[in-house]
Structures are given as structure tokens and as C-alpha cells.
Amino acid sequence: MDINRRRLLQLGFAAASSAVPVAALAEQPDEAAAAEAKAADGASHVGVLYDTTLCIGCRECEAACNRRNNLPRTPVPFSDREVLRTARRPSDTAFTVVNQYQGSPSADQASLPHTYCKVQCMHCLYPSCVSACIVGALTKAADGAVVYNPTICLGCRYCQIACPFEIPAYEFFKPLTPRVRKCELCTDHEKGTGANPACAAACPTEALVFGRRADLLATAKERIAKRPARYLNRVYGEREVGGTAWMYLVGRPVREIGLLPLPDKAPPARTEAIQHGIFRYGLLPTAFYGLLAGIMWFNHRAHPEDGPGIGEASDDAAQQGAAPDEEVRR
Amino acid sequence: MTAPTPPPAPTVPVHDDRPHRVTKPFFTFGTVSLLIAMGVGYSFGVTRMLLGLGQVTNLDDHNPWGIWISFDVACGVALAAGGFTTAALTDIFGGRKYKALLRPAILTAFLGYLWVAIALSFDLGRYWNIWRPIFNWQGNSVLFEVGMCVTVYLCVLAIEMSPSILEGLKARIDDNEWGAAFLRRIEGPIMAAYRGVRVALPIVIVAGVVLSCMHQSSLGTLMLIAPTKMSPLWDTSVLPLLFLFSAFMVGFPMVILESIYANISFGRSPEMELLTPLSRIIPWFIGLYALLKLGDLAVRWDSLDFLARPGATTSLVVEILVGVVAPFLLLLNKAVRRSMGWLFLSVALIIFGVVLNRINVFLVAYEAPYSTRSYFPSVGEIAMTIAIVSSILFCYRFFVTFFPILPGFQPQRVAELERLREERARTVSPFWTWVIRGSAIAFLLAFVAIYNVVHVTAERGTVKLVESVRRVQAATPVFAKAPSNYPNRPPGYQNFYELKSEFLAGRSDDYEPVPFAHRIHDEITGGDCSACHHRYAADPSDRVGVDLVEYHAQFDVKVGGACAACHQDLQDRPPQGCQRCHAAPSEADSPSRIGLKGAYHRQCIGCHERQATTEYAPTACNSCHHPWTPDHGALVDLSGTPRPQDVTGLCLSCHPRVGRDILATAHWRWQGYSPVLKGYEHRGDVSLTMMVNNTCISIGSNMQECASCHIGYGWVDEKFDFSNPNNIDCLVCHDTTGTYKKEPGRGGLPDPSVDLVAVAKKVGRPTKRECGSCHFASGGGPFTKHGDLEPALVDPPPDLDMHMGQLKMRCQDCHLTIEHRIAGMSMSAPAVEGRVRCERCHGPTPHGVAGVLSRHLDDHVRAVACETCHIPSIARNLPTLLRRDYSQAGADRPAGVDRYGMPQYDKRFGTLTWGKNIVPKYLWSDGTRNASLVGGTIAPSAPVVLNAPVGEKRDPKARIFPFQLHEAVQPYDTVNNVLALPKLLGGYWVDYDWSKAISEGMKLVNVPYSGSYGFVETRMYSSVHHQVVAAGKALGCADCHEPEAITCTRCHRNAAGMALPEHRRAMYPEAKARMDFKSLGYTDDPARVGGRFYVTLGRGVPPR
């Protein structure tokens, strides 16, 4: 038996025949269908409109979030605005934080020294974490909230890798029952009630307004139209990573206030297209299986006395030893 | 490159590539070292299990995956690729001569995957849920794909391993080795399984190759979920294909490396006759991979920024040059392929390249945008990784020792092989062959079917919802809940949740609501109502209205101030209230309209933030909102009947600084800096006890009685310890129950009937009731001394006091309190801890919106205090004492009742004269006053004025203030000409002997007493600041000025038709000649003759 060039070409072609459709499908996400499905779903979705130009950094939303979610007591009270001096991120003990940035929120408010920006789970319309979760512990509820079920969670933390906003926090110091912690829009699993965010209800300036996403988007556009000097002509979260339930009205570039400029395409669109493309109806693996089985059968037909190599204690030894490879013989 | 030395020719005469057990001692230096490494590493693993991931690893929310994933799992899977590539080569593509390498390769793969699973369970937070993906399918998840594929492939590998295992067990039986006795009993099943497995193997082997290709590529898809966090150097859609090709590429090098390593460590000569031809295949795979890798980089070249992260770029270059290009070039060389050393180096480079690639993709490329530190594995992570690798090596050693894996060079057990060949002869019947193969195929088809279902359901988006969310859907459809307060909203907008201001509800325990002082803000905006009332709606049902500026533009009126100039009927037709439009946030007719809470806050905060100074326009929450006192019910750990001092001790245990503050206050010391006392401006030692008054005459000689208004316990004589904070009476001010009261005559101790514990549990901010418990009762009883301070002010009607009644203001809203030092000035007490000024809120020109009169009224502020006009009369609710005559005291006369129902005579005080609704006395005052201290001489010929305010018309600092006058006839020392200081309680009021009482009293304050006393008329003033009325009820022009003097045309010469009948009408005509201009120093009514310094009226001749 020899491996010659013909065999190698066979091998290569086999690999290539599997590779070509993979590559083709990888770049062909079924975006139209996804968008259609999204639009149908999104009609019932809720969201929160956050107007950064109205936020006064009072941290009432943080306090309300802490109370509603029974998070641990904080070492400093929420009335302490000193903490605004340090940049913070949501953690396993704080699902939302307000950060302070130098400079006025908009050109319209030149006398204000600071801009405040609240961060929490954005509840993407097409959430990466939900797509990533291996068991579906993270799901998008009917009202659009991305909620978490710790019962079936493995703790793989792939959601943390996936999240483009870097939101999910993990209880790294719990040995047995760590959870992924993040804003769930105050969905109450125990009482079985849907989204009803405490932060929006607490906001004293109504910089946070909770409602149906479509209506909020219209509201946001209306505010921009009414006050073009105050707002940048964009709604952060309208299209970012496929759209998010939380939407930000901003008066200055988002990068300056700690938000990430993100592409419009939802990241799961690519991975799911690859996944479903390769494995659609199991065709490709089955065909590949058939191809390999055929080659195996072909080679076996030529040497019908051979069993499978793993189980076979072959008798070819003498033959092998007697006719060593050309190269070894030199 | 130096030519590698040619390998030694095979020296074993009889070559046998059949697998054999290795007959070497198992426990060697190597295996023991591996055991030690495993012990160290797994101790970290145990620590992780006990204390959590955070204790052992350097992982955090920004770097959730470390080397346990990137090396142990990702590299582990990649390096186990030797299993499926070799199986494909030997059993599918007919490379049967390499089958000697197959069993070791399968073993390596099996061990690799097994420890991938074990390493993963250390990394999983909830490792006990590792079985969940079998039941909870999530077909959109790449990780699910990988996980399921790996799980099935692990089963496939176990089946592929089983011939070796079963052969090894059979050999034990045959050779009668340890355990043979037991194994002999199950020899039948072992052989049946052996035959069955061999029948199923062809099907399983192909399945293994397919599964491997699936998950090797899916591993590459894994990181594509985070394109924004991945470095573009690696983030490409062909990453799965690259992963697959690199798995092909690294499979044979792993086999070669392992073969060379195993042979050398067992002291055998390497199987170069197999490895050299095998290595000839490798460059093809490298080429395939390099083509795709470099091609992909070239296609995306323009979008790559190599300078953004130099470290990452370096890593990529090393990965390509060292791991791909170098071995490719090396392996093209025939001499390299033949030399064991060079071959070893080449395959090691490939393996290094693939490992680096996996680490690059999973660690180096991943950069969390908010991460504050870069990840580097901890000692524990590294030790665990070493332990995992050691475990694989150890198990490899174990399996090759006890099972026939490695090809033997000495056919030592010919008999064994003969037997096995015999077994094979008695092979399974065709029926069973097809049953076994059929079930294997059915299993695979079922797998494909399940896979299909999972993917199709996932793709359709109907991912199985978690139980709880399903309940959420069933229980409350989110939009079915219409806001209860607004059922009449148009359809489509009832779905907006109403912000039932949880902020206010939740914070009401912490903060008081802010009483909005409308009028002040009116004045501050210069009468520009449009600053807040920015829209106008003619129709009450109109919830939107029109812009106020636009609305006024049609009348050619410019909005921007002095609205009242036209809108003189503001009281009758006030502007539209905020809540008329701002009822709820984001309503149907105008979704961007905010609710009442937001409207208030935004107006306030927005306006305050724009002001130049924050002194009058604070922006912090607690500068408008007063914090409530938290519930002390649980904090006050007292029961039974504690001593009052014990209660204070408990207060101080939490508020020690407050105790120190109090010890310095005037309320505690009854003395302090006295800038308002003429002659004592720079003194701090003038005590209240040194003052003489004409109510109870002297505090110093009546300490026991008077100290019942001291904020302390037990001040009966000079021995009282002013430095002991435990004597502070916290409760008298901070009681909120209304049950606390002091017992008269006990030096300030509380009434024994008071439940101190209950009071202490309910402490709070002082209200007017607590302040009033002393200040309403000054002079010996309620409404006695201060006609403007009476119990009704606890909750007065708006016309009694507009601050306290209409705005519900507390005392401390004006009497600013800092560290328990309370601003304010009394005409009786010497110490002053800050002044109360109307201007603090109202500014220097407070009459901004009163129409045409405002300038004239603001001019008055320079000469007339606010109180003069805005307190038209005092004692409007209850009568106040005007005069007492001590010379008549001591007789047993009937009390009599005057027209107010008050006693006209009291044995203790003599005759009493009461008055109600009295007009104050108006005097010039610059804020200071003369003082009568104990022992001061008097001139008894005329009425003695005890505390005359200082000021006169010519003094620019003086203004006309209202005062209440107290008249009295009281005893004095006729020889020394000093006011007598009798001891009343326990003195005069016992036996009504003036001489004895005076003697005792003056001894107490160390003033000599001659022994003879007489009575003298005295006068005492108290200032009038309370019972302020609003503009509509304040004095009118004609209340002070002669109506005829009030004309417009004297100055406004062209003011023809300007008639001011209402200004000629007195608001309080019953109080005639309220203002005695002559006694104030004017020659005539200043409306006629001009003010103090600046106006000469009568520039024209008044019209006849």
C-alpha cells in the first residue's frame, strides 16, 4: 500500500469539497428572513429611551436597581457622588452604573460641566448572548427582555465573550452556584411579571422613559427634530448590532461618553449563518459521510481481506518489512 | 542548513507492527514526576471547587476565558486531530501500512478529548450542570454545536479504543495475570463485545472523521460571535475553515511527535520507515492551510491595522513564520524527513504554530473594550494546565503498559495472536453483522435527525423558552395592563407605563417634598411667567396648547418679563398649571412630553444649572429636598424607664459630633457672641441669666423654673455641668410624638409620665411644635410674651402666616441651622448665631411683579422692613399680654375676665392687660439694641426702657421695624437704683413677701440689695417677625400715608388719567394713625415731604 499523489489529491479534493460550500455559506447570512422575523417580534418589544442630555447623575437609578434586585448593600450610599469620579462598569453586584464624563452633554448646554451616561444591559433585539448560550439559559422573553435562567446554566461564560457591550457579569467567587448577573429589565420570575424597570420609574428627570420600543423610537426622533441643536442626529441603539431595546439620545459623540461605536450588523447573524449553513438539514455532514464511506468501500474492495485498521492485528508485517518504503531504502 | 545525518538502518531483524503491551516497569522517574505535577495542579483544581474560580484564576468579567479554555480545551481538541486524520488515512484512504501508528494516535485523541472534558469541568462555573446540553438544545449556539459534537466524538473514540482494551483484557485472561480470575467470568461478554465492535468499526470510523471535521471547524466559529472584540488580524469568516485545515495539518505531526517520543522513552529505535513517508504528506496540508491563511490576510489586507496592537501583530507573524513557513520549508527537504532529529523539530514547530494560533484566536485576539487590565494566567491556572498535560502523558503510559497499543518489535506472544486470529475466524454471523451495523447507522441517522430538528427550530427563532419566562408570558401579557389612572388614552398609547413616581414614593422616607415658593421664583424671573409656563391652551381639554411666545406674537406682545403688567388678574385667572399638560409621561397626543415629576425637576435643575451662582440656585438633591430622619425604632435599643441621661447617652453613641456641637451652642450655654447688644458687641460672655426683663423679671434668680426651657437636664444652680454632653436634652427638639414635655421647676428634666423610650424611637426633624414648646410659651405661658408666636403657628391657616401656613415651612427653613447653631435674634437673649433675613429668599427688590407700584414698593425696602407692611397686626389669633403690674400682686382679689376671656388679675403677677389684633409699635432699628443687665442702674423718674432698639431716621442702616411693647410695673431697689430681682417660684409666690423674695433672688445673682424696694414703670420691646401675610393682605399705601398725599401726578407730570383709588383705600382702616411719622423723625408724612435721603417730592404743583 502506498500513499501516492493520486491519493493525496483524493484527500485534498475531499477536504476542498467540504470546504467550498462552507466558505460560500459563511458569507451568505440569511439577513432578509432574519430582519423580517425581527420586525414581527419587535412590535411587541418594550424598551427604555435614555436621554443623556437630561441625566443629572443622581444615581437614583442605581439605588432603585439595587433595591429591586435585592443586591448587596453598597459600602458607600447611593447619594455619594464621589464615586462618579472613577469609571465603573456593571458588575455582579450592580446591574447598572452611571458614569461621569468631562464636558457638557450637548452644544446646547454649554454651561454644564459634566455629562452622565448610564450603562446596563441593552437588551439587543438580536442578542449575541442568547445566540451564544449553549443551553438557552439566556433567552429573549416575549416582551423583549433578555432574561436568565440559572437552573440550566453551565457557567461557560460564553455570553460574556459574546456580548458586544461587555455587560454580563459573573460571580467568580462563588464555588458552587455562580450566576451570570445582568439587568433583566426587572422581569420578575417569581411573580411571573414582565419587564418593568425600576430605574426608569426612579429617574427624577425622566431621562429614562420606559415604553414600547417603536413608540420610544418615534419619541426619540421627535425630540431630535425639535431640538437639532441639542441632539446628534442619531439614536444609539436604533440600529447598533441589529438594534437594542435600550436607546440613547446623545448630544456628543458616543465614544466620548463611554459608548462603543458598533456596526449595524448583529454578530449572531454571521455565526448562525455559518452554523445553519454548514449543517442545514444535515446535508453536508451526510454527504461527506457518504463520500468517505464510498472511498473506504472502494479501497476495501481492492483489498477485501483487510479489516479496519484499529481492530486489525494485520498480517502485513512481513510484507511491510520485506518491502520497505522507497524513501527509506534511499 | 546543514544536511541532517541519515538515520540508522533498522536493526530489528523481525519487524512486527502489531500492537503489543509495553513490558517496562510502570513506575519510573518519569511517571512519578507526572504524578507529582498532577498532585500540585489538581490541588489548585480542588481549591477552585471549594472557593470558586476567582480565587484560583486571573479571570474577570472582561477576560472570562483564560488558558483553561484556550489551551486545555481549544489546543487539546486541535492536538487530538491525530486520531481522526490517521484513522482516515489508514482505514478510509487505504494507507494501511501506517496502521501501526493508528492505535497510539487513537489513544492520544481519546485521552486528549477526555481531558478536554475534565479541564472544562474545572472551568465551568456550574460544572454539575455539564450534562444539560443533552436535554437543553440551543441550535444557534456554536458552543452547543461543539459540545454535542465533542460528546458524540468522545463516544466514537471510546468505541475505537475498545478493541485495544478488550484485547488487553483477553491477554490478561490468557496470561493468567492479576485480575484474570474475575475477568474470566466475563470472558464471554468481552469476546462478544470485541467481535461486535469490530463489525461496527468501519461505520464508526467514518463517523469519527465527519464529527471531527464538524467540531474542529466549529471551534473556529466560536469566537466569531464577538467581531467587535476580536482583533481583525484573526477575525475572519473563514476562521472555521482555517481551524479545520490546521487540524488536518497538525494531525500527522502529532502522530510523528508522539511516535518518536514514545520510542525514545521506551528505548526503541524510531519507526522512521513509517514516519518519513508520512511526513511527506504534511507539506501538502501546510500548503493548503497557508494558502487559505495568507490568501485571507491578503484579501482583507486593506482593513488590517498592523500597528494598532504591535504585540498581536508580532504574535501573528511568529505564528505564520515559525509555525507554518519554517516547517513547510524544512519538510520539503528529503534529508529532514529522514532525520529523526530534524523531523522532530519540524513537527514540533507545526504543533507550536497551531497551539500559538489557538491561543492567539482565543486570548490575544480577544480584547474587551472596557477591560482595565490584560489577562495573564495565574499560577493556579498554569499548574492546572501542567497537571492536565501530565495526566494525559501518565494515562498514555498506563494504557500502553496494560493494553496492546504500541507496535511491538519482538513478537513475544505469538500464541496470543494465534488465539485472536482464531477468534476472528469464529466471527459473527451475517445476520448479527447487519444488526450491529444497522443499529450503528440508525444511531447516526438519529443523530443527524436530532441535529436537523435542533437547527431548524433554532433558525426559526423559536428557541425553547425557559420555564419562568413561559410563565411570564402566560401570567401577564405585557401590554394588557392599561394604566389605571388614564383609561381614556387613545388606543395604541395605553401601553405606555405610567411612571408612578416610585422615586417620590420610595424616597418619601428619605426626603421631604419641596414646597415650591412660587412667588419668589416669580420675582427672580422678573415676573416672566413664560420661563416655566411656556405654552398656552385656550380650551381646557387641549393637552398640548400653543407656544406662549407665538400666542402673544399675534397681539404684538413680546413675552419675557413683567407679565403682571397686563395680567393684573393673576389671582383670579392664574396661568395654566403644570399638571394640566404634564399629567403622565409620553402620552398619546405628544409622546415626547414628559410627566409632572420630570417637568418639575427639569425646570428646576435646568434653570438652576444655568445660574451664575449656586448660592440661590443649588443643584444638589438635598439642597432643595430635606432628608427625613430614618426610623429610629430599631436603632433605639432601650426598654423600660431609662434615665433621660441614658437616652442622651444612646443618642451620642451614634452622634458623638452632635454632642460636641451642642456644647458650643447658644441654646445650650444661653450665652455667646452678642453683636447686637450695645456696649457688649465684642463680648461672648453675656448670658441670658444676666438679663433683666419685665415678665418674670430675672432668669438668674429663678433658674429652677426658667431652666425648664433649657435644652438640658438638671440646671438648677451654678453647679450644672455644661461640659457633660449626657445632660443634653435631645428629645425636647427631636420628639415627633407630641407627648414629650418638661416638668416645670425641675431644671429641665422631663415629666415623669413621659415614655422616653417611645419618644426616642420616634425622633425626627424638629417641627414648629417642638420649637414652639419653648418659644410659644415665653413670658410664662402660651401667647404671653410674643404676640407673633403662638401655638396656632404649628399648623396655621394661610392668612395667619403665609410661610408656615401656605408654604408649610418649618422654623429652620428661615432660621438656618448649621451644626445645631440656629440663626435668629431675640430682643431678650444676648447671643446671636446668625441672622434671618427676608432678602435671603426674596432679594433686594422683592416687589417685581406687583405692577406699576413695584418700583415704589421696592423703594420702601430701603426705609421700611418687610415685616412692617407684611405683619399688619399681631396676636391675630389669641390675645397677648400687654401690661402687668407687679405692684398690685399678692392680694386675694377675684381674677375677673376681660372681653377676650383672659384673667384681669393674678395674685402672682398683679393686674394684667390683654390685647388682641394689636398694631405693633414702629421704631427705627439698625438691628442692635440697648441692654439692661442685672445690677445696672436706672432712672426711676421715667418709665425704664429695658431693651430699646437702636436707630434713627438719619442712620442709613436703620429701617422702620414693628415691635411689640410690653409694659410693666416692677420692683426696684430704691437706694441703689437697680431693678430688683426677686425669686418668684419658691419665693414671692409662696408667702408674697416682696422684701424676702428680692433679698433671696438678688443673693442668687450676687447683686447687693439695700433692703428697701419700690415700683417702677418699665417698657420692654420684642421684635415682630412672624405671622407674615402675603401681598394681598399687606398694608396698603393709605394704611400709613394720608390718602390725599398719595398722588401720581406730582411726579408723573404727564400722568393724566392715572387714577389710584385703590391706593387711597386703607387695607386696615380700623387701625388709625398706625405710623406716627412725627415720632419717627419726619416733619410730615413722607409721601408729602419725601423720604429720608433722596426724594424731594413736589417737583410740580399738585393739580387742584
Pairing of the two strands B944-945 and B1013-1023: parallel
Report yes or no: A218 at the B interface, CB cutoff 8 Å. Answer: yes
Residue B465 or B514, more confident: B514
pLDDT for the residue A181: 95
| Mean pLDDT to the nearest integer, B227-253 | 93
Please check whether residue A29 lies inside any domain of the structure: no
Indicate whether B373 pLDDT > 60.
yes
**Minimum CA–CA partner of B597 in chain A:** A204
- C-beta separation of B107 from B400 below 8 A: yes
Report yes or no: B513 at the A interface, CB cutoff 8 Å. Answer: no
B171, B172, B176, B178: CA torsion to nearest 10? 170
Report yes or no: B464 at the A interface, CB cutoff 8 Å. Answer: yes
Last residue of a domain, one of B829, B849, B868: B829
Q: CATH number, domain at A71? A: 3.30.70.20
| Mean pLDDT to the nearest integer, B147-167 | 90
Question: Which residues in chain B (273-312) have CB-CB distances under 8 A to chain A?
Answer: 273-274, 276-277, 280-281, 284, 288
What is the maximum alpha-carbon separation in chain B?
152
pLDDT for the residue B415: 54
Answer yes or no: do B799 and B921 share one domain: no
Q: Do A89 and B585 touch (CB under 8 A)?
A: no
Q: Do B237 and A22 touch (CB under 8 A)?
A: no
Indicate whether B10 pLDDT > 50.
no
Q: Do B93 and A299 touch (CB under 8 A)?
A: yes
The whole domain housing A231 covers: 43-265
Instruction: Report the gap between the CA of A316 and the closest CA in chain B (Å).
Output: 8
Closest CA to B742 of B776, B718, B706, B717: B706
Q: Do B102 and A133 touch (CB under 8 A)?
A: no
Whole-number percent of chain A with pLDDT over 90? 31
Please check whether residue B852 lies inside any domain of the structure: no
- Residue B427: pLDDT band (50, 70, 90) is low
Please check whether residue B636 lies inside any domain of the structure: no
Closest CA to B5 of B260, B291, B238, B272: B272
- Residue B445: pLDDT band (50, 70, 90) is confident
pLDDT for the residue B476: 40
pLDDT for the residue B968: 93
Q: Give the pLDDT confidence of B919-976 residue by residue, as tens digits.
A: 999 999 998 999 888 888 899 888 999 999 999 988 888 999 999 999 999 999 999 9
Question: Which residues in chain B (180-209) have CB-CB distances under 8 A to chain A?
Answer: 197-198, 201-203, 205-207, 209
| Mean pLDDT to the nearest integer, B1069-1097 | 79
Indicate whether B1085 pLDDT > 70.
yes
- C-beta separation of A26 from B237 below 8 A: yes
Counting the structural domains of chain A, the total is 1
Counting the structural domains of chain B, the total is 6
pLDDT for the residue A121: 95
Indicate whether B495 pLDDT > 70.
no
Please check whether residue A174 lies inside any domain of the structure: yes
| Mean pLDDT to the nearest integer, B780-805 | 83
Sequence-separated (6 or more) residues with CB below 8 Å from residue B80: B108, B109, B112, B113, B116, B254
pLDDT for the residue B461: 55
Please report the sign of the dihedral spanned by the C-alpha atoms of residue B931, residue B935, residue B939, residue B941: positive
In a mutagenesis test of the A interface, which of B48, B59, B72, B92 is the best target, namely the one with the most A β-carbons within 10 Å? B92
Residues from chain B contacting residue A160 (CB–CB below 8 Å): 61, 64
Please check whether residue B116 lies inside any domain of the structure: yes
Report yes or no: A203 at the B interface, CB cutoff 8 Å. Answer: yes
pLDDT for the residue A329: 32
Please check whether residue A76 lies inside any domain of the structure: yes
Answer yes or no: do B673 and B568 share one domain: no
Q: Do A222 and B144 touch (CB under 8 A)?
A: no
Q: Do A192 and B503 touch (CB under 8 A)?
A: no
**Minimum CA–CA partner of A241 in chain B:** B228
Answer yes or no: do B450 and B469 share one domain: no
Please check whether residue A313 lies inside any domain of the structure: no
Q: Give the pLDDT confidence of B266-295 residue by residue, as tens digits.
A: 877 788 888 999 999 999 999 999 999 999
- Residue B694: pLDDT band (50, 70, 90) is confident
- C-beta separation of A265 from A116 below 8 A: no
The torsion angles phi and psi of B459, rounded to 5 degrees, stand at: -65, -35
Last residue of a domain, one of B794, B813, B829: B829
Please check whether residue B1004 lies inside any domain of the structure: yes
Task: Give start and end residues of each alpha helix (H) in B175-238.
Answer: 180-185, 187-222
Residues from chain B contacting residue A191 (CB–CB below 8 Å): 475
- Residue B7: pLDDT band (50, 70, 90) is very low
**Minimum CA–CA partner of B207 in chain A:** A289
Q: Do B238 and A23 touch (CB under 8 A)?
A: yes
- Residue B484: pLDDT band (50, 70, 90) is very low
| Mean pLDDT to the nearest integer, A37-66 | 78
| Mean pLDDT to the nearest integer, A3-18 | 42
Give whole-number Cα distances, B1059 to B1041, B1052, B1067, in Å: 17, 12, 18
Nearest to B163 among A46, A203, A310 (CB): A310
Instruction: Report the gap between the CA of A272 and the closest CA in chain B (Å).
Output: 6
pLDDT for the residue B588: 61
pLDDT for the residue B419: 59
Sequence-separated (6 or more) residues with CB below 8 Å from residue B117: B130, B150, B154
Instruction: Report the gap between the CA of A246 and the closest CA in chain B (Å).
Output: 15
Please check whether residue B864 lies inside any domain of the structure: no
Indicate whether B411 pLDDT > 80.
no
Unique residue bearing C-alpha cell 456593571: A90
Indicate whether B504 pLDDT > 50.
no
Give whole-number Cα distances, B269 to A263, B22, B266, B279, in Å: 58, 14, 9, 17
Please check whether residue A293 lies inside any domain of the structure: no
Indicate whether B246 pLDDT > 80.
yes
Whole-number percent of chain A with pLDDT over 70? 76
Residue B525 or B692, more confident: B692
| Mean pLDDT to the nearest integer, B181-195 | 85
Indicate whether A34 pLDDT > 80.
no
Answer yes or no: do B508 and B483 share one domain: no
Answer yes or no: do B598 and B660 share one domain: no
Please check whether residue A169 lies inside any domain of the structure: yes
The torsion angles phi and psi of B988, rounded to 5 degrees, stand at: -60, -40
Comparing B112-121, B338-347, B489-498, B958-967, the range with the smallest average pLDDT is B489-498
Question: Please, what is the average pLDDT of chain B?
Answer: 82
pLDDT for the residue B589: 66
Residue B164 or B484, more confident: B164
Residues from chain B contacting residue A139 (CB–CB below 8 Å): 463, 465-466, 469
C-alpha cell at B23: 513490558
Answer yes or no: do B967 and B1014 share one domain: yes
Please check whether residue B847 lies inside any domain of the structure: no
Indicate whether B1039 pLDDT > 70.
yes
Report yes or no: A54 at the B interface, CB cutoff 8 Å. Answer: yes
DSSP 3-state of B480? helix
Indicate whether B1063 pLDDT > 70.
yes
The torsion angles phi and psi of B179, rounded to 5 degrees, stand at: 90, -5
Please check whether residue B845 lies inside any domain of the structure: no
Q: Give the pLDDT confidence of A236-281 residue by residue, as tens digits.
A: 999 898 889 999 999 999 999 999 999 988 888 888 888 888 777 7
pLDDT for the residue A313: 41
Answer yes or no: do B412 and B480 share one domain: no
Nearest to A152 among B129, B452, B605 (CB): B129
Residues from chain A contacting residue B453 (CB–CB below 8 Å): none
| Mean pLDDT to the nearest integer, A184-194 | 75
Residues from chain B contacting residue A77 (CB–CB below 8 Å): none
Q: Do A149 and B467 touch (CB under 8 A)?
A: yes
Closest CA to B521 of B533, B510, B512: B533
**Minimum CA–CA partner of A28 in chain B:** B237
Question: Counting Cβ atoms within 10 Å, is residue A11 exposed (0-12), middle (13-18) or buried (19+)?
Answer: buried
pLDDT for the residue B684: 85
Q: CATH number, domain at B580? A: 3.90.10
- C-beta separation of B76 from B113 below 8 A: yes
Instruction: Report the gap between the CA of A18 and the closest CA in chain B (Å).
Output: 9
Question: Counting Cβ atoms within 10 Å, is residue B612 exposed (0-12), middle (13-18) or buried (19+)?
Answer: exposed
Please check whether residue A303 lies inside any domain of the structure: no
Comparing A179-188, B296-305, B507-516, the range with the smallest average pLDDT is B507-516
Comparing A141-150, B192-201, B514-523, B718-727, the range with the smallest average pLDDT is B514-523
The torsion angles phi and psi of B945, rounded to 5 degrees, stand at: -95, 120
Answer yes or no: do B292 and B403 share one domain: yes
Task: Give start and end residues of each alpha helix (H) in B326-377.
Answer: 326-331, 334-338, 340-359
Instruction: Report the gap between the CA of B206 and the closest CA in chain A (Å).
Output: 6
Answer yes or no: do B989 and B1051 share one domain: no
Q: Tell me, letter by letter, the H, E, C secondary structure of B864-922.
A: ECHHHHHCCCECCCCCEEEEEEHHHCCCCCCCCECCCCCECEECCCEEEEEECCECCEE
Answer yes or no: do B657 and B799 share one domain: yes
| Mean pLDDT to the nearest integer, B113-131 | 92
Answer yes or no: do B563 and B478 share one domain: no
Q: Give the pLDDT confidence of A61-115 residue by residue, as tens digits.
A: 998 899 889 999 888 888 777 888 889 999 999 999 999 999 888 888 777 788 9
Q: Give the pLDDT confidence of B977-998 residue by residue, as tens digits.
A: 999 999 988 889 888 999 999 9
Question: Which residues in chain B (135-154) have CB-CB distances under 8 A to chain A?
Answer: 136-145, 147
Indicate whether B480 pLDDT > 80.
no
- Residue B809: pLDDT band (50, 70, 90) is confident
Comparing B65-74, B478-487, B614-623, the range with the smallest average pLDDT is B478-487
DSSP-derived letter for residue B71 is: I
Report yes or no: B557 at the A interface, CB cutoff 8 Å. Answer: no
**Minimum CA–CA partner of B366 in chain A:** A161
The whole domain housing B992 covers: 880-1023
Please check whether residue A195 lies inside any domain of the structure: yes
Q: Do B496 and A27 touch (CB under 8 A)?
A: no
Distance CA A124, CA A19 (A): 32
C-alpha cell at B277: 513517508
Answer yes or no: do B589 and B733 share one domain: no
| Mean pLDDT to the nearest integer, B872-900 | 88
**Minimum CA–CA partner of A64 in chain B:** B503
Comparing B83-92, B241-250, B514-523, B637-646, the range with the smallest average pLDDT is B514-523
The torsion angles phi and psi of B986, rounded to 5 degrees, stand at: 80, 0
Question: Which residues in chain A (58-97) have CB-CB distances under 8 A to chain B?
Answer: 58, 60, 64, 67, 79, 89, 91-92
Closest CA to B561 of B522, B612, B515, B617: B522
